[in-house]
């Protein structure tokens, strides 16, 4: 009962934050922008409906995961509305589709352990989606990771993440000896090679983090993790020697100020935005986000910090930590090995992606162009994240 009360308190805070954002956005225009108020109301209805369905028909699982994800989505859509209202409307549509997908996954999927037998299908899906952009992809912002089919555009690696985690879960659940790791290891190496060739270095880090986490959970052997890290060092050095774009990213990371007017322009502008906002920000609608490149996707974290302050940035990081904690907690309560591993894989995927892009924006690690989960603009990204969260929720209900 206390858990339900805490969930409803957090849900109420989500509603209050949502309406505070969009009422504020309404006052930024003269006359008052009623569209902002309508959008805030739509978001509250979508979030409330999703929570009601899951709580009404599935009473045993962890509902905090849904609320944390919705909180992050509200922050992202509110900032997108501030930057470009047309993008915010599109993102709201994708949010509605993603929430619907999340509900359908939880409601309609049978017991998840029955899906462990489709290992070959997951492997084929992984290799198809990982390689797709290599052959028919289009280069955007330096990485050849987008596929355009008529009016439809998407990143195949987003679907590749889901298939790779499912494949590793179905393979590693039967781990007994080192021989059981050879085939999954080859699939991971091939996937990483495609990502490096496509210059999608962000996905490389995400897939590596996800694979290492699942490997440790499946084997509990530190020697395998050390070996994997050693091989990753060798692979990184080889990539540095073979691919100019890898050397360029490292060069910019080591000394961004030297290339401030060229290659590292977006990093420098992002750092300026974060520093100018200070602890409490310049105020919603009072910053200069137009100076920050790719501000609706890769650098939305910098824009948020500029207008809402570093304290909001810390708040977002804490939300990711809490989401990751609740997801991993779900894995600890389930007995089926496949369900446990796929939960760990998707949890690590979300956490790795958040850490990689926030670290890149703050120049802690080399910048890699990926979206901030649930926050950045991007239909395929938010759909992938809510699908993964739906699977974790399903495991939570079963556990």
Residue 3's pLDDT band (cuts 50, 70, 90): confident
- 147's CB contacts (< 8 A; 6+ apart) are 132, 133, 136, 137, 138, 153, 154, 155, 156
* Per-residue confidence (pLDDT) for residue 285, from 0 to 100: 87
Q: Give the model's confidence band at 2: pLDDT under 50 very low, under 70 low, under 90 confident, else very high.
A: low
Q: What percent of the chain has pLDDT over 70?
A: 99
E strands within the chain?
Answer: 138-140, 143-149, 152-154
Q: Strand order in 138-140's β-sheet? A: 138-140, 143-149, 152-154
**Residue 246 pLDDT > 70, yes or no?**
yes
The pLDDT value given to residue 211: 94
More confident residue, 25 or 243: 25
Residue 1 has pLDDT above 60, yes or no: no
What local confidence, expressed as pLDDT, does residue 260 receive?
81
- Write down the residue that tokens 């006359």 correspond to: 31
pLDDT above 80 for 119? yes
In this predicted structure, the answer to whether residue 345 has a pLDDT above a threshold of 70 is yes
pLDDT (0 to 100) of residue 13: 94
- Identify the burial level of 254 via C-beta atoms within 10 angstroms of its C-beta, where 0-12 means exposed, 13-18 middle and 19 or more buried: exposed
The answer to whether 367 and 380 are in contact (CB under 8 A) is: no
Separation between Cα atoms, residue 124 and residue 127, nearest integer Å: 5
More confident residue, 91 or 143: 91
pLDDT band at 132 (very low <50, low <70, confident <90, very high): very high
Is 281's pLDDT higher than 50? yes
Longest distance between any two alpha carbons in the chain, whole Å: 69
Give me the DSSP letters along 212-236.
HHHHHHHH--HHHHHHHHHHHHHHH
Lowest model confidence (mean pLDDT) among 42-51, 67-76, 136-145 = 136-145
Give the chain's mean pLDDT: 91
**ω into 320 cis (within 30 of 0):** no
User: Is 112:391 a contact under the CB 8 Å cutoff?
Assistant: yes
β-strand partners of 271: none
Average pLDDT, integer, range 275-283: 90
pLDDT tens per residue, range 24-42: 999 988 889 999 999 999 9
The pLDDT value given to residue 254:
87
Q: To which residue do tokens 């509902």 refer?
A: 63
Q: Check residues 1 and 238 and name the one with the higher pLDDT.
A: 238
3 state SS of 144: strand
What Rg value do the Cα atoms of the chain yield, rounded? Answer: 21
What whole-number distance in Å separates Cα of residue 386 and Cα of residue 350? 10
Model pTM? Answer: 0.94
pLDDT reading at 213 higher than 90:
yes
pLDDT digit string, tens, across residues 175-192 = 988 899 999 999 999 999
Residue 69, pLDDT above cutoff 80: yes
**Domain boundaries in the chain?**
114-398
Q: What percentage of residues in the chain have a pLDDT greater than 90? A: 61
């Amino acid at each position: 009962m206390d858990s339900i009360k805490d969930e409803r308190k957090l849900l109420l805070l989500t509603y209050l934050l949502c309406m505070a954002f969009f009422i504020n956005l309404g006052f930024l225009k003269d006359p008052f922008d009623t569209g902002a108020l309508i959008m805030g109301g739509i978001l509250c209805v979508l979030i409330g409906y999703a929570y009601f369905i899951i709580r009404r028909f599935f009473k045993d699982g962890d509902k905090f995961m849904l609320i944390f994800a919705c909180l992050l989505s509200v922050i992202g859509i509110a900032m997108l509305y501030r930057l470009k209202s047309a993008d915010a409307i599109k993102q709201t549509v994708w949010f509605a589709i993603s929430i619907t997908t999340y509900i359908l996954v939880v409601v309609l999927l049978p017991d998840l352990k029955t899906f462990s037998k489709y290992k070959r299908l997951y492997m084929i899906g992984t290799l198809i989606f990982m390689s797709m952009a290599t052959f028919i992809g289009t280069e955007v912002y330096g990485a050849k990771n987008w596929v355009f089919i008529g009016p439809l555009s998407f990143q195949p690696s987003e679907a590749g993440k889901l298939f790779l985690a499912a494949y590793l879960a179905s393979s590693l659940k039967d781990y007994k000896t080192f021989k059981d790791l050879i085939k999954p290891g080859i699939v991971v190496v091939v996937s990483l090679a495609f990502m490096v060739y496509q210059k999608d270095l962000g996905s490389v880090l995400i897939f590596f983090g996800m694979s290492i986490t699942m490997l440790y959970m499946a084997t509990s052997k530190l020697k395998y993790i050390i070996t994997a890290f050693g091989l990753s060092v060798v692979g990184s050095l080889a990539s540095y020697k073979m691919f100019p774009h890898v050397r360029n990213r490292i060069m910019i990371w080591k000394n961004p100020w030297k290339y401030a007017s060229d290659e590292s322009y977006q990093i420098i502008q992002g750092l300026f935005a974060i520093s100018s906002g200070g602890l409490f920000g310049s105020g919603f609608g009072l910053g200069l986000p137009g100076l920050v490149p790719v501000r609706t996707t890769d650098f939305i974290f910098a824009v948020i910090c500029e207008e809402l302050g570093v304290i909001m940035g810390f708040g977002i990081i804490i939300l990711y930590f809490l989401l990751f904690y609740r997801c991993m907690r779900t894995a600890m309560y389930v007995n089926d090995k496949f369900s446990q591993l796929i939960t760990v894989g998707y949890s690590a995927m979300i956490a790795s992606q958040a850490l990689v892009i926030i670290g890149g924006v703050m120049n802690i690690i080399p910048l890699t162009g990926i979206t901030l989960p649930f926050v950045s603009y991007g239909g395929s990204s938010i759909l992938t994240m809510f699908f993964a969260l739906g699977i974790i929720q399903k495991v939570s209900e079963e556990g």
